[in-house]
Chains A and B, each alone.
Chain A
């Protein structure tokens, strides 16, 4: 296990379509985070899971967004009826509770372009 894996790396979709992204965290990590990053900005928190439980959702996460982590391992982020404003890099990170430092390890991200 070499790190957090996200796919696809790039996604171009037409406005109004649904898209789904996948994140595979580091295997022993029980926390999983989704962030969104737009050009020139820092990552903005969207949601996080501890095991399979979704413990916090940002107000940025509208009803069109849904995230799941059904077995406490991989996670999916779905965006329904995409809008041009959804164009961004979607980053996934994982961490381990009780770890010495608690740092989050990030994947390479999925870049979404809505046309």
Chain B
């Protein structure tokens, strides 16, 4: 199947860390991505991880990949109100050449 699943909502206080989780199904996925979508806008690529990596850090963002469990997470350190948005994980398969998106997690940052 091609289901990528995410929890729907996450609420954190400003300054705390946020962790957004994703499970995917295609074990042949070569890249996994995190996109951010603000209201009324398109999708903005935040970061990515190649399937042979376990972790990637990019400023406030840390991506963890557990290939055995097909689990991906995005940690945002020192979460700010500007981080409030919907976050999508997406997988890109080696043989499909298309991006399969999760349902999205709505992150709300409380001041």
Contact = CB atoms under 8 A, between A and B. Distances in A.
Q: How large is the interface on B (under 10, 10 to 19, 20 to 34, 35 or more residues)?
A: 20 to 34
Interface string B95-109: 011111111100000
Contacts of A42: 4, 88, 101-104
Nearest to A47: B98
A14 to B, nearest CB: 23
B24 interface: no
Given A42-B88, A42-B104, A43-B88, A56 B98 contact: yes
B92 A102 contact: yes
Interface residues of A, number: 25
Nearest to A42: B101
A33 B33 CA distance: 16
B42 interface: yes
Most chain B CB within 10 A, of A55, A104, A107, A109, is at A104
Given A40-B104, A102-B30, A109-B42, 18 more contacts: A33-B98, A42-B88, A42-B104, A43-B43, A43-B88, A43-B99, A45-B98, A48-B98, A50-B97, A56-B97, A91-B43, A103-B31, A103-B45, A105-B45, A106-B44, A108-B41, A108-B42, A109-B41
